[in-house]
Structure 1
């Protein structure tokens, strides 16, 4: 008997359709585990658990199939989990929107129907220390409370008035309808027409009641949907949704560059400012609404706002944490500018640039093809943070630029010199203490162009400045002749001796480097005196260095500098040398700027090349992005400059330093019949021998005094000619001859 027959027999002949799973087994049943159970008739039924276990035994499934099943299960879980989490977060987020919306509506209703608004404004005025505003809101609060009291008293009389008004209205309506019915009766002669209008009104009311009762579910549904949508919208606008419930942005979504009030307040809450945090805990920004002197408004390529801060929180302390504020606003530190508002000392004025806007391309130089500049009104040099053109004053100004290699100092200098080229009355002098090609394009039009880190170039620059310093006296006399107090364009065009000059000293760290401290002191004093005096006479100096320090930019020099630009720099000490004491702490910092990145001769990234933090170029300190001139544009500008000058360029003859030998000069001034001469007399004779040689005659410009006996002794002793003192210093002729012979290799 087969399995099917056996099963039929045990099932008492009932027809049962059993489908067996495919298994690898023979037809002979093998009992592995069994027990005897009694059925209703007491007949023993053998168990078939061995067949069931074999049918559902997953170990019989091939290994590869089991691995595919396991992998599929893991993938399904991984795919389903984010969907489930997103679904849960979405449902929770929308529920929070509804709760927030209900809270917002409730708070708004309470605000409109209570004294909360007035109390909040009074607390804000008290926090700001504005007593006048506090008294004003106290008066408004008192008036509002009186009005609310009067309204409540009116409600006590309202029920009687409403009943009376309702009865009067119904009586009037009934009378009107009866009159209308009588008119209808007189026309038709039908008695029923007398009450016809009243009957019609009653039927109309009944129809409206029926319509409302029939469609109340639809109307209620629409009303509920409208309320839910309104609450959802209000809750979503509130921005109080927990961060963990926020929707994850897709990869294509970029951070929003817009700045609004909620974003600003959130950035201030996370600023880590202890005094401001206390004000937040006291209710500023929540129950006490902040005062926006100017709400966030788009300006150029950024946003600007003016916010009145609570008492005890000056804007300068916010500036101390500008790096954190910029981070909270999603900006780089150099893209955020904080200052005290000029019209409200309690308010913070802040400019927040769009992310990356400082690296957008700068427009072309505006005067390449046409137009000319005016030394007395200013030169176009670039654009500011708002992308407005910056035209800097030049007359009675002087300039300093500093920044690391590749930061764009030369770009800024060349832009300013392009302005000088396009004014035909301006002469240009350039001293660059490095061998490079930065200024060769100006050689056809420059009055002086001297390059090289050599002692001769330093001496030539000093001689040129001394010559210009001495010319100030002549310019002063010419001012009297032209009856002017300071240089004017009319005078400069009428007399070429009054032509304005721009003197550039690039790599000035080499210029100020002197072996002896006293020589450096004299040089610095000379430059500072000339620097301060020359501006009135139309002579402008411009210094540039990659290494700002007290050695390369003396403190006295920086104290009288009007226009300062700091490009990408390495530390705040150097930043403050250029921009002023505590400039970095006050928010004027170029530390975030990055120089151009190069690999060999290939430019990897321009970064912030040509961008500087500047003082004196505009009404307010800030970002200055210089124009960038191409090689062809430079050639065009020089050609136009030569054309404006009629092809004539005033060349300055380079003052070559005179080379003299002290021993030879001393021997020349001692007469053959003199054995010895007083040192002071030798000095006088040397000045007469070489009246233009500054080491002998001194220099008023540098402050160097004429050669004296003590200095002569020191110099002759160094040359092997001993000067002895017998009451006075004496120079012996035989010792001079011996020193000369010894120097030339003779035996004496």
Structure 2
């Protein structure tokens, strides 16, 4: 066979996989002559771009870096490092917890076996000299002992019988399993043996795990019960200073120096927490039933000592009387939370107000926004000068001004400009210390009484005789039942005026007592809330009392009500200037009191955030005037007449010439005719209106109907003085 020719003699090189196999010879390794072309093998593959690999690697690195630097990973590393460093000490603690857990179990067992709780009750009864309670406790010890022995005997008999039964069944099953193959057993019996095998395996595993469970239970029982103690956290928690639980509260109460309470703790008594300590806003709340002979006001009288025992300032500790004299409501603020302020007023830049639902005035110690109500409310606000009382009243006036249906009067018995920016929104406004301002304020109080009489008569004539004004009635300008607020700033100057003081006090008390259901609200503020400057009946009947920092208990009770200082509701704890803007308020919520951080709308030299709000209020009034239908001013109407809507004419219109119409159909047609007036009407409203004209719905075919002839007769024969303002407008 001739040797193959070299590849460079071939016209085209073959692909390596197409070339025939050739024997390997030595001459194949010879170097070809210089200048000879060599056919290299062609390789199959895919081009991998270096940039793609680099991009993928960068993404992986970025992902790993993000995971490693995440807050969770950082916290995990910190905890792991901290625990590894403290591992020896933690091991010693675990051993100590294990031993202490067994000791606690032993104590509990001994207490149960010897009736320790009942014996403690017997000793307590002996110490207080209660022979009856001691006799009952001793009888319970004897009866409980007999009952326990009886239960133990019964349990022993059941255990013995059960053990014998189980042993017998186990012997029978073992004998059957040894004599009969599983394949020849009945299916249910084979299944039973399978289940028993699984249970035996689980039992063996549980026996191995039982010691570990025992150790864990003992460690859990013996663990440290110090508040805030834990295993997977650092001891330097951010809230470590704010942590409060029942144990800390009990210890603080035990060191107040109250004799009955000291005796109770000395005899081993434990307080009953009707509400356990729990987080409540920016603090901790608990409710405690005090032992015999201890009242809540006794604890409130030692408020400073209680605060010191809890590691708090007096302002941060609020013990008050609960529903009973022996119930203590205790709220403890987190450290440093009360001085943070309420933040910006929610209505500063946008929003409107419905005075029937209230105006946001501040936030409570629990962090909740409180709305100041006007309907069926009157306000008395006071405190030392410069502590925020005028700012709060201004917030109330600004909020009411954002309701375009509200009418506001302001009288300042002092020479200042606190309310000057609100003047465009005020219907009456007077400032000064002269007698003319006091006279104007007294005249306005008299006008309020007159307005109350008018509104009372008008409400009596309305369908259904509503007992009080409402949002629906206030939205009808023709009725004149809109909200009306009267503010008297520095009211002590008015009540102490030599000429007008007595009359002003008498009128103010009448307005406070009678004006609530007519939509009339009186707001008073003062910096001298004493019995001599503020009438006692004003404080007694006012709905909402607000006290900023005051000097003594007389000023405190003069604003918040009699007995509030004794009950632990004290604005005397508020510090001058330091707690500016913080007040104690009663009547603003369902709670006995609230510690409020009030909102503030800046108004000072060079800073005026009040005027933009007033501009919004005026724009809202203009919008309401453009959209409202023209009505006759109620001041020019006969206030003793019926309502301004001609109900009889409207009913005649919706009958649509029909001889008889069902009352339900009449009501629906009236609602279509004038939704603002008739949307809330019911059968009682319709029959009451018809009864004024001597008309009664007749029953026809089982339904109540109104006859057109009755309406026509009433329209024809009604007296001229019964013609309403609506009739005048229609030319009747």
TM-score, length of structure 1 as denominator length: 0.57
Please state if 1:105 is matched with 2:115.
Answer: no
What does residue 338 of structure 2 align with? Answer: 358
Change (3 A) 1:180 1:589: same
How many residues are paired up? 504
Q: Distance in 2 between matches of 1:110 and 1:266?
A: 26
Please state if 1:608 is matched with 2:579.
Answer: yes
What does residue 693 of structure 2 align with? Answer: none
Q: Per-residue displacement from partner, 1:266-314 (whole Å, max 9, x unpaired)? A: 11111211111111222212xxxx4332221212222222233323323
Please state if 1:258 is matched with 2:243.
Answer: yes
C-alpha contact (below 8 Å) 2:495/2:502 kept by paired residues: no
Match for residue 270 of structure 1 among 255, 259, 265 = 255
What does residue 152 of structure 2 align with? Answer: 151
What does residue 507 of structure 1 align with? Answer: 490
C-alpha contact (below 8 Å) 2:485/2:521 kept by paired residues: yes
What does residue 461 of structure 1 align with? Answer: 441
Q: Per-residue displacement from partner, 1:659-709 (whole Å, max 9, x unpaired)? A: xxxxxxxxxxxxxxxxxxxxxxxxxxxxxxxxxxxxxxxxxxxxxxxxxxx
Change (3 A) 1:100 1:325: farther
Gaps of 5+ in 2: 1-88, 184-203, 228-233, 626-631, 636-732
C-alpha contact (below 8 Å) 1:297/1:303 kept by paired residues: yes
Q: Distance in 2 between matches of 1:262 and 1:376?
A: 45
Please state if 1:634 is matched with 2:610.
Answer: yes
Match for residue 310 of structure 2 among 309, 329, 333 = 329
TM-score, length of structure 2 as denominator length: 0.58
C-alpha contact (below 8 Å) 1:405/1:595 kept by paired residues: no
Q: Distance in 2 between matches of 1:297 and 1:318?
A: 20
The alpha-carbon deviation at position 157 of structure 1 amounts to 11
Q: Distance in 1 between matches of 2:158 and 2:441?
A: 98
Q: Distance in 2 between matches of 1:526 and 1:557?
A: 11
C-alpha contact (below 8 Å) 1:403/1:547 kept by paired residues: yes
Q: Secondary structure of 2:515's partner?
A: helix
Change (3 A) 1:437 1:99: farther
Change (3 A) 1:644 1:591: same
Q: Distance in 2 between matches of 1:354 and 1:294?
A: 18
Please state if 1:405 is matched with 2:385.
Answer: yes
What does residue 625 of structure 1 align with? Answer: 597
Larger radius of gyration: 1
The alpha-carbon deviation at position 262 of structure 1 amounts to 1.0
Does 345-354 or 556-565 show the bigger shift?
345-354
Q: Distance in 1 between matches of 2:221 and 2:430?
A: 71
Q: Distance in 2 between matches of 1:530 and 1:230?
A: 68
What does residue 215 of structure 1 align with? Answer: none
Does 261-270 or 321-330 show the bigger shift?
321-330
Q: Secondary structure of 2:610's partner?
A: helix
Change (3 A) 1:96 1:646: same
Q: Secondary structure of 1:465's partner?
A: helix
Q: Distance in 2 between matches of 1:532 and 1:156?
A: 76
Q: Distance in 2 between matches of 1:307 and 1:645?
A: 52
Aligned-CA RMSD value: 4.9
Q: Secondary structure of 2:381's partner?
A: strand
What does residue 540 of structure 2 align with? Answer: 559
Q: Secondary structure of 1:565's partner?
A: strand
The alpha-carbon deviation at position 611 of structure 1 amounts to 1.6
Gaps of 5+ in 1: 1-88, 184-207, 209-218, 241-248, 597-606, 654-748
The alpha-carbon deviation at position 263 of structure 1 amounts to 0.8
Does 259-268 or 93-102 show the bigger shift?
93-102
Q: Distance in 2 between matches of 1:252 and 1:258?
A: 10
Q: Distance in 2 between matches of 1:153 and 1:498?
A: 79
What does residue 420 of structure 1 align with? Answer: 400
